[in-house]
Amino acid sequence: MHLNAAPSRLPSGVKTEPALVFADKDDARAWRVEWFDEDGGCEVTVFYGPRPEERAQAFAKSFYGEVQDLEIAARRKRPQSQRR
């Protein structure tokens, strides 16, 4: 269980990596939030149920601040003919 105190748990001035938000590759009903710290530690949160993408985005933004949406990044890299 996460508490909404994550941003304040870090010493001031410590740069953190953005949280990664993306659809789960093994289960199309799930969205994942992953965050890695500078020491190689990882936190993972998986969202199922109603509006999993929306909830994952909102959680990542409120808990980690900086977010990298891998779905949007992947769409930008695809050639125009392969985009949905």
Q: pTM to 2 decimals?
A: 0.67
Check pLDDT > 80 for residue 2: no
Q: How far apart are CA 1 and CA 40, in angstroms?
A: 20
Q: Render pLDDT for 51-67 as a digit per residue (tens, 0 to 9).
A: 999 999 999 999 998 88
Q: Render pLDDT for 7-63 as a digit per residue (tens, 0 to 9).
A: 445 544 444 688 999 999 999 899 999 999 888 889 999 999 999 999 999 999 999
Burial 12-24 (b: 16+ CB within 10 A, else e): eeeeeeebbbbbe
